[in-house]
Amino acid sequence: YTYPEWSSAFADDPKGDKRKLIGVRVSKCQLEGMLKNRIYIDLVDISDEEVAKKRLFEGIKEGRNKPSSAPLFPGKAGEEIKPDFPGVGTKSDLTNKTSKYKPQIPLEKTDMEINDFIENAFKEINKYFKEAANELSQESERIEVRFQEINHYKFVSDIYMAGKHKTSCKIWLNRESYSQYSQIGFSHGSISINEDNSFNEILSISDDKYNIKLQAIMSVGLYGNNQTNYDYKSLNPQEAAEYLWRLFVSVLEYSFNK
The predicted-structure confidence for 109-153, as pLDDT tens digits, reads as follows: 888 899 999 999 999 999 999 999 999 999 988 999 999 999 999
Query: Is beta strand 23-25 parallel, antiparallel or unpaired with respect to 40-42?
Result: parallel
Please report the pLDDT score of residue 216 as a whole number.
93
pLDDT tens readout for residues 20-72: 788 888 888 877 766 767 778 888 888 888 888 888 888 887 665 555 566 66
What pLDDT shows up at residue 154? 96
Return the pLDDT at 124.
97
Angle among Cα 159, 143, 125 to the nearest 5 degrees reads 50
0.75 surpassed by pTM: no
